[in-house]
Every structure is written in structure tokens, then in C-alpha cells.
Chains A and B, each alone.
Chain A
Amino acid sequence: MKVSTIVVTIAVIFIALAATIYSLQNRAPNTHPIEFTAPFVFGRFNVPVDNPLTQESVLLGRRLFYDPILSSNNQVSCATCHKQALAFTDGLKTSIGVSGIPLKFNAMSLANLMWGPRHFFWDGRVSSLEAQAIEPIKHVNEMARDLEQLIIDLNNDELYKKLFKKAYGEISEKSIAKALANFQRTLISANSRYDQYLRGEISLSPLENQGRKLFMAHPDTKVVLRGGNCIDCHSQFLTSGFGSKFDGFSNNGLDNDQTLQEGLFILTQNEAHRGLFKAPTLRNIAVTAPYMHDGRFTTLEEVLAHYNGGIKRSKTLSPLIIEADNIAKTQLDHISLNLNDNEITAIIAFLHTLTDDEFLTNSAFSNPFMADTSDD
């Protein structure tokens, strides 16, 4: 055999071997789409093309969500501030992370995140769940984790290596964010009494139904229509802020011009957006106290009292709030819905129909480490 033939043969074998190894290393993981159901009235939803909702990614995301390995002191996990029994809030005025310094914001509930506003956090500063997921991990007061070190630590964990390989092929900042985002996407709350009522399975009590009607109405004294005005910021089925552009953000009169916070302005740098915050989902609102972006109200009664006379005027206050009144406007200085006590009780009764016990106890959303322990 000629030398040249041998060289060519070896070269071909080498190239084939290299191609095979490259192909094996870069082969997309063999994943399986996750199945889920949601009411059609929730509407369209989007999952990023580069992060399909797979069983493998959700399994990994759930484990990461509950694992304090994501924090610098190995004591704080996402679930520290997002507890399932509290609809993934923490019951605190504002959350406390590794630094022990209270954060600026109240922990937001995590439910039905595939619908509603496409900007996340109270001030909407990020525009994807993936971007949202990574922020608290890096934040100095929340989890303060060095991501490079986190990736090293995850690579030293055989189970994580296996889970990442199955879900995304590699451990990286992107795949950590994607996994956490996908687990959060599966947190669907759709079996409250309100859902059952919408499906025609139950009737609401007269008080709850009165509250529902008030919730859904902007008051109009000209036609004797009484309303709680909730629908102007919280959509009828999702009960979240609206999904289009920044329609899901509002200044609901918490502060006057002197104390008005940045809110959405931090993202848009538009003065008209100063003091606008995200209208949160009201799903499970009865278990997510305290309320508002800074947790200033401890009860739903306090929230209703705010809309019924506690509104503070500022330059970006929603005209819908100024105008909404159940008695004909006699003077413009005092802003109030002027609901009576019975109507306030009715709205709160309706808000309680949004509690979804199945969501609060669903084992698919629970701490997998606890499940591991109980399995033992």
C-alpha cells in the first residue's frame, strides 16, 4: 500500500471520528414536551422558541427553584421568598435575602405567568421570565451568588450534571435561567371557585356574585351602575394586569408627587411612567398579604379602604381612578369610589373565590427535596 493511501485513510478515519465526537457532544438533548391544560379564556400564550416547555427542563427548574445552592450562603432558595402555600409569596412586607436587609419590594405571586404583562418585577424592568429568573440570584441583597462559582458547584453535583445534560446539554447561566423560567411557567392556577363558576360547575353565593359584578364594573352614576373599578386594571379572567405593551402598569394612588417612586420609569425613562407599577394577578389574593409593591397594606380591607378614600393625587395618577365614583362628583379634591360597607364586603368575598387550594397544594409544584426525604 502506498504511503499516500495510508495517510488519506488515517485522515478520513480521524475526520470521521472527530465529526462523531462533535456530533455526540453537540447533539440536542432528547427531550419530551410537557402536557398542561389551561382555560381557553386565559387566551394565547408564548413560550420562547429557544426554550421549549419540556419535562426535563421543568424537572430541573423545580429542583433549582427549591435549592439553596443558588445563594452565596447556601441558605436562601427561590422558595424562601416564594412559598407555595402562600401562592409563591412570603407573607412579608418586603422580602429578606442573604444580606438580611429588607428588599425594596414585596414578593410577587407566581401564577399564570405565561399570560398577562410581558414585563416582570413590580417595575417591569425585565422582559422575559428567563431574565427575571437570574436577577435575584445575582442581586447582592437577595441571593448574592457568583454565577461562575455556581456553575462550578453544579458541575460538581452528579445529579445536576445529569439533569442539565438531559434538559439542555450543558450547565450555563442561560440553562439555569431557562430551567427556572420553565418551572415557573407550569405554575398554573385555574381551579378556584371563580374558575369552577366560569365552567358552570358551581354557583357563587349572592354576596360573592354581587362582588363579582362590582369587580367587573367601572361605576357610572348616569346609568346608576355601581362598580368597584377593579376591571380597569385587572383583566376579567386572568385578574392580572393587561398583557399588551405597558397596559398592565398603573399608578393607583399610593403616593403623592413628593414621594412618588420610579416604577416603570426605571425601564422606559418616560416621565409619564413614573410611579406606575405592575397590576399583579389577584389569583389567590386572599393568601398573599401584605399587599402592594411595598407591602404597605396588611389586609384586603385596608386595600379596599385605600380605593375608597385613601387615594393620593400625583401627576401620573390614572384618570380612571380619579373619575371612578359611585356618587355623582360634587368636588374634585377628594378621590373615592364611595362604595358602601356592604359593597366592600361583597368585593372581598369575591376576591376569596380566587383562592385555588389545588394550586396551593399541588405536589407537582412542591419542594422536591421534601419529596426525596419522604420517599426515603
Chain B
Amino acid sequence: MTKSSNNTANIMTVNKKTITFAFLALVTVLVVVVVLLRPAPQNITLRFHPFVGDNPFLLNTQSYQNPGGDGEFTVRDFQLFISNIVLSSPTNQINEQESYHLLRFDGNSAFDQIVIPQIKLRSHNQLSFGIGVDPKANGSLMFSGDLDPNSRMAWNWQVGYKFLLLEGTLTVNKQQLPLVYHIGFDESYTELNFDIANKIMPENGVINFKIDLQRLFQKDNSHDVIPTQPQLPQDIEYIDMYKMSHVKFSPEDVKSIANGFNHFITIM
């Protein structure tokens, strides 16, 4: 071997070592970057603020205009089930386990909330949940999440759960009428989807929702001519509580109120 060929071999060896070192350094940097950029687990809070129209909702003490008729109503109890919460991104989906939550508004707080612990958020931009209890759970006696066959929200094992409970009093011309809305049945289970991109408060992971009891009583106009433009607030028609003061087992009446499930929860 000549001196020149020896030099060439040495240069190649050095180059190989350099390339290997550079490659390893690059991999290390990439691993560190990936680890650093990996989202830290964070609690996600779905916070529900009850309203009647633009007025904050208060039990017992505050009266509100009958959405579709004369008189004013007060509420002594309002509870509803939120079920099967799913957070999703184009590449990822997180399904909460035992996802049956009873929202109720009889505490000292102006809102009720659901906390989903330790979610590794990357780019979840969709949230979905059901109002009510899905047919499988509704037809079972399982104790899961807030489902409890011995609770106030259970009718009996043949009928399943009340998905939404609203009880109160309507006063029309000094006449008091009891209001009882116990809305259930499998057909009423309603899945809602929300675009949550930029809706999660970065400092505490809270997504704020408005629950509008007025919109619960929005009439179903899906049988009408398909509107070409979104319905304006002043064009929305509402159910007259006086004419429909109690809804329990009549399928048509249940359907009328359950239609409102599609409208009465929005992201704030």
C-alpha cells in the first residue's frame, strides 16, 4: 500500500466517525425535542353555565318569562345527564371511561362542571358528548359513573332513566300550575359535536358551555321548508309551557322537548 492510499483510508475513517457522531447527535437532539414538545397531561374541564335566555339561571328565587306564552315560571330542580365524552383530533381520539355525568344546579356554585383528568392534549379540535343515556346503558342496571338505578333520575328498570329533569311552577294570572318535564326514552338520546379549536382556556383547561333553558323549549321546525339561512333569534318559535306543562311518557311530547337538546347547549 502506498502512502497516498493510506491517507485516503484515514480520511474515510475520520469521515465515517464524524458522520456517525453527527447522526447520533441529531437523533439525540430530535429525541430531546420530541420529549420537550410532548404535551404534558392536563385536566380538561367542561364547565356548564345555566341561563334562561340572557339571564343567569337561579333555582327557586328567580322567575322567567314563559318562552312561548303568557306567565312566568320558577324552577325548583334541574338535572340532566351528559354521557360518552369523546375528544378527538385528526389522528387521535380519547374516550372517557364510565362517562355518565349528572349535571345539577342546586349547589352554591353558578355552574356545574365535569373534569376529565390528565388528558395529553395535542391538537384535539373536536369534542362530542351525548345528552341523556345511550340505549345500552339505559336498558341496564349497571352502576357506572353517575348512573344509579336507585337515584331520582331512574324511572324504573323497564323504562330506564330520565335524561333531563325539570320541575317547577308556572304562574299565569295568579294561577299556579306545576311544571314537570321528565324527558327520557332511547330515541331522545342526542349526540352533540363541538369544534373546540381555540376554545380551551390555556391556563386552566376549561371549556365554557352555556345551557339555555329557553332554547330547550324551541319548537322543532325541521318539517318546515328547509331554511336557506340560519334562523334568526327573533324567528325562533317556542313551546308554550301553559299548553305543555308536563311531559313524561307521551312519545310525541317527549320528542317535542327532546328536540331542544339539539339547541340548548352551546360553547360560550
Q: Which residues of A contact B (CB under 8 A)?
A: 40-44, 115-116, 216-218, 220, 222-223, 225, 231, 235-238, 240, 242-247, 271-272, 318-320, 322-323, 332
Known: A222-B249, A222-B253. A320 touches B180 (CB 8 A): yes
Contacts of A44 in B (CB 8 A): 143, 148
- Shortest CB-to-CB span from A238 to chain B, Å, is 5
Contacts of A43 in B (CB 8 A): 143, 148-150
| Cβ-defined partner of A235 (8 Å) among B76, B151, B167, B249 | B151
Q: Assess whether A245 is in contact with B104, with CB atoms less than 8 Å apart.
A: yes
Interface contacts beyond A44-B148, A242-B152: sample of 12 additional A-B pairs, CB < 8 Å, sorted by A: A41-B141, A217-B156, A220-B250, A222-B248, A231-B155, A235-B150, A235-B151, A244-B151, A247-B152, A322-B178, A323-B246, A332-B176
Among B152, B154, B182, the one with the most A-chain Cβ atoms within 10 Å of its Cβ is B152
Q: Assess whether A238 is in contact with B150, with CB atoms less than 8 Å apart.
A: yes
Contacts of A42 in B (CB 8 A): 150
Pair count A-B, CB < 8 A: 86
Among A42, A243, A244, the one with the most B-chain Cβ atoms within 10 Å of its Cβ is A244
Q: Assess whether B148 is in contact with A243, with CB atoms less than 8 Å apart.
A: yes
- Shortest CB-to-CB span from A34 to chain B, Å, is 22
Q: Assess whether A272 is in contact with B59, with CB atoms less than 8 Å apart.
A: yes
What's the interface size class on B, roughly? 35 or more
Q: Assess whether A319 is in contact with B249, with CB atoms less than 8 Å apart.
A: no
Q: How far is the CA of A41 from the CA of B167 in the complex (A)?
A: 27
Q: Assess whether B150 is in contact with A115, with CB atoms less than 8 Å apart.
A: yes
- Shortest CB-to-CB span from B258 to chain A, Å, is 16
Known: A216-B156, A319-B180. A223 touches B151 (CB 8 A): no
Contacts of A236 in B (CB 8 A): 149-150, 154, 156-157
Contacts of B155 in A (CB 8 A): 216, 218, 231
| Cβ-defined partner of A231 (8 Å) among B156, B168, B249, B253 | B156
| Cβ-defined partner of A319 (8 Å) among B149, B157, B179 | B179
Contacts of B245 in A (CB 8 A): 323
Q: How far is the CA of A324 from the CA of B255 in the complex (A)?
A: 21
- Shortest CB-to-CB span from B257 to chain A, Å, is 13
Contacts of B76 in A (CB 8 A): 272, 319
Contacts of A41 in B (CB 8 A): 141, 149-150
Known: A44-B143, A220-B249, A231-B156. A242 touches B167 (CB 8 A): no
Q: Assess whether A319 is in contact with B168, with CB atoms less than 8 Å apart.
A: yes
Can you offer 13 A-B residue contacts whose CB atoms are under 8 A?
A: A44-B143, A216-B155, A218-B182, A220-B250, A223-B249, A223-B251, A225-B249, A235-B149, A238-B150, A242-B151, A319-B168, A319-B180, A332-B177
The 10 A-B residue pairs with the shortest CB-CB distance in the complex, in nearest-first order: A319-B178, A235-B150, A323-B178, A216-B156, A222-B250, A322-B178, A242-B152, A247-B152, A220-B249, A272-B60
Closest to B59 in A: A272
Please tell me if B169 contacts chain A, counting CB pairs below 8 Å. yes
Q: Assess whether A319 is in contact with B150, with CB atoms less than 8 Å apart.
A: no
Q: How far is the CA of A322 from the CA of B168 in the complex (A)?
A: 11
- Shortest CB-to-CB span from B61 to chain A, Å, is 8
Q: How far is the CA of A332 from the CA of B169 in the complex (A)?
A: 13
Q: Which residues of B contact A (CB under 8 A)?
A: 59-60, 76, 102, 104, 106, 141, 143, 148-152, 154-158, 167-169, 175-180, 182, 245-246, 248-251, 253
Q: How far is the CA of A231 from the CA of B102 in the complex (A)?
A: 19
Q: How far is the CA of A332 from the CA of B248 in the complex (A)?
A: 19
Q: Assess whether A323 is in contact with B150, with CB atoms less than 8 Å apart.
A: no
Q: How far is the CA of A220 from the CA of B141 in the complex (A)?
A: 24
Contacts of A332 in B (CB 8 A): 175-177
| Cβ-defined partner of B167 (8 Å) among A40, A223, A271, A320 | A320
Q: How far is the CA of A151 from the CA of B41 in the complex (A)?
A: 52
- Shortest CB-to-CB span from B211 to chain A, Å, is 19
- Shortest CB-to-CB span from B178 to chain A, Å, is 4
Contacts of B176 in A (CB 8 A): 332
Contacts of B59 in A (CB 8 A): 272
Closest to B245 in A: A323
- Shortest CB-to-CB span from A330 to chain B, Å, is 13
Contacts of A235 in B (CB 8 A): 149-151, 154
- Shortest CB-to-CB span from A26 to chain B, Å, is 37
Closest to A215 in B: B156
Q: How far is the CA of A245 from the CA of B151 in the complex (A)?
A: 11
Q: Assess whether A242 is in contact with B150, with CB atoms less than 8 Å apart.
A: yes
Q: How far is the CA of A244 from the CA of B147 in the complex (A)?
A: 11
Closest to B104 in A: A245
- Shortest CB-to-CB span from A44 to chain B, Å, is 6
Q: Assess whether B60 is in contact with A243, with CB atoms less than 8 Å apart.
A: no
Q: Assess whether A223 is in contact with B250, with CB atoms less than 8 Å apart.
A: yes
Q: How far is the CA of A225 from the CA of B182 in the complex (A)?
A: 15
- Shortest CB-to-CB span from A270 to chain B, Å, is 8
Q: How far is the CA of A243 from the CA of B60 in the complex (A)?
A: 22
Q: Assess whether A218 is in contact with B60, with CB atoms less than 8 Å apart.
A: no
- Shortest CB-to-CB span from B256 to chain A, Å, is 12
Contacts of A245 in B (CB 8 A): 104, 106
- Shortest CB-to-CB span from A216 to chain B, Å, is 4
Contacts of A318 in B (CB 8 A): 167
Contacts of A323 in B (CB 8 A): 178, 180, 245-246
Among A40, A115, A116, A247, the one with the most B-chain Cβ atoms within 10 Å of its Cβ is A247
